[in-house]
Amino acid sequence: MRQDRVNRILLIPLMILLSIIPLIVRYTQVLLTDPQAIEMWGSMPVGDLFSQVKAGCILTITGIICIILFLAYSKKELKIDCYMKGIYIASGVYLFITLIATFTSQYKNTALWGVADRAEGGVILVSYVIIMLYSLYVVREVESYKYIMLALLVLTLILTVLGYYQYIGQDLFTTTEWGKALIIPEKYKEYRDGLQLLYEEKRIYGTMFHYNYIGSFTAMIIPLFVTLALYGRGWIWRTFYVVGAVCGVFLLLGSTSRAGLIGVGLSFGIGLVFLGKKMIREWKVTIALIITSILGIFLMNQATQGVIFERIPELLKDIESFWSFNQDEADYKEALPLQGIAHEGKALIIQVGASRLSINATEDGLQFSDDNGDSVVYDYTEGLYATQDERFNKLSFRKMDRAIQDRMVWEILAPIPVFTFVSNTEEGVHLVNPNTLEPIELEEVEYIGFEGKEKLGSARGYIWSRTLPLLKETWFIGKGPDTFVYEFPQHDYLGKWKAYDTTNMLVDKPHNLYLQIAVNQGGVALVAFLVIIGIYFVQSSKLYAFKRNDEERHIVGIAFMVAVIGYLGAGLFNDSIVSVAPIFWIILGVGIAINYINSKMNRKQEQAMPHATIDMKKRKYIGIE
């Protein structure tokens, strides 16, 4: 009895990490120190609502976990077999490479503590692994999973309440005085009055920064709750799981996250392999599930006038686009109103199809000519240059109100503002960054694949194509945790224009968990991570695939396994973030622990098997349960 009480106490840090930490939304400001960060965001402190305070709490809980392990560690409780040894070694490699990438990074502060509004530096990544290993260590019996599920249920219910108000456009954080006071401390109260809706209505983000990360969260909890609701034990607990599953579906559909849909779909597909026999044997439950799901989705669709499915056609369109090829779209620059900008002497040269437009500065303003030196007539009216010349009529130039000393600032419109340049008669014309007004040059950027598919998956095709070449330098050691924003070719203005319909876009994440690890931590860290996952999946397959899975402990093992698969599936389109990642690492650790327990119990049953008899009608062993 005393040991059971100790086991429950050891689970408390995990329950806090699951039920409380993800709910934290608290404003703070971060002072930037890395020169690259100051160059991108300026020298003023950067405000953050969703990451910094969460990260601080995660580090605090991790510190408590380390103290607990130091005081309560027992060698006899350490789980050791061939699978565990592989996981321990891979985890050690992952940690070692992450630490090397952190302390050898040229972006010291960012690599250690993370980007201001993400806070996923090296210390947090190390904390994730410690949390996973702690979960593996303290789960000593299958029944412990109920405490994990209780914490997840509390989190899901609270997110559902918050999500409902966000869905109807009445976000409690921004439309109520108590909500503003909750998320913005007194010392920053001047920001409360200007706080507006973070996203438009019918977009649930909960407390997880962005609605896409609700997708990663629900990709775990939906298969977890559904599996236990169908085949778990005890009608009270199964009722709880049904409630959790329904809330999870609402959150997923309300977030409109396509990554979440893919993650859930992948987890259910894998789940069929593990639960196929049981679903056929218990066909009444299976049919009831199918009918209930269809009815529930239909009613939800009717209640929201079809809004919850608005991004599914986009997902299907992206899938079709991925497998199609249009030669006319292969060169992304051909579809743009201009194909290049260069400097020749004091002139700015714009490539438009086969023609070139030269811009020079005069005392009276701007002067335009073509590649033959002939004048191109641009009419100037109220600060705007426009032309009827068919070669260049897609481009116009607008004078800005601001100026730098004696230089005038202009915008290139095509028809939206796409580039900024400055001019005076002495220095000529030069392209500049629209935010800092520092001189820039357009350069050719290396990319791999996705030609003509830059807009695929909300510009993920573009991001991935420019990220893949970075792996040439990070195949072993990465550039440092959370430093992707510095390594991505932010000067690829034409590529951004094609992908985002604007050149003024900062790409701060790869929208892919695996590319994120490979660039930030390194290829070896990615391999180590995949080895951990691979060992877990192989062991799960050996334990549960194509088996009867009659015992609750088997169902629990499968439930946690499909939850891990859901997150990894969503990770193809989402990256890691402090709001969701700790949940994944805990579920992974608990899943590995349950597999170990089940494997050990199976061996005991096999040893007892010669002394058992078989009931051929029920096809089960008598005397071994």
Cβ-contact 430, 421 below 8 angstroms: yes
**pLDDT attached to residue 64:** 96
pLDDT of residue 532: 98
What one-letter code names the amino acid at 173?
F
What is the per-residue pLDDT across 286-335, written as a single tens digit (0 to 9) for each? 787 778 777 776 776 666 666 656 666 666 666 666 556 554 456 778 88
* Whole-angstrom distance, CA of residue 282 vs CA of residue 279: 5
Report the pLDDT value the prediction gives residue 606, as an integer from 0 to 100. Answer: 78
What predicted TM-score, i.e. pTM, was given to this entire model?
0.92
CA distances from 460 to 148, 508, 511 (A): 34, 12, 7
Number of H helices, E strands in the chain: 23, 14
- The CA-atom distances, in angstroms, between 624 and each of 28, 423, 550, 598, 621 are 58, 87, 14, 14, 6
How high is the pLDDT of residue 313? 66
Quote the pLDDT of residue 334: 84
Q: Yes or no: say if 371 and 363 are a contact pair by the CB < 8 Å rule.
A: no
Q: List, for residues 437-496, the tens digit of each pLDDT value.
A: 888 888 889 999 888 888 888 899 999 999 999 999 999 999 999 999 999 999 899 999
The secondary element (H helix, E strand) that includes residue 431 is strand 428-432
pLDDT on residue 1: 58
CB 349 within 8 A of CB 358: yes
pLDDT, position 215: 95
Q: Is 420 helix (H, G, I), strand (E, B) or coil?
A: strand
How confident is the model over 543-576, as pLDDT tens digits? 998 887 778 899 999 999 999 999 999 999 999 9
Contacts of 116 (CB under 8 A, 6+ apart): 30, 32, 37, 41, 46, 48, 52
Tokens of 560: 């946690």
Contacts of 112 (CB under 8 A, 6+ apart): 102, 121, 122, 123, 481
Task: State how far the alpha carbon of 459 is from the alpha carbons of 204, 262, 424, 463, 509, in Å.
Answer: 21, 17, 37, 6, 12
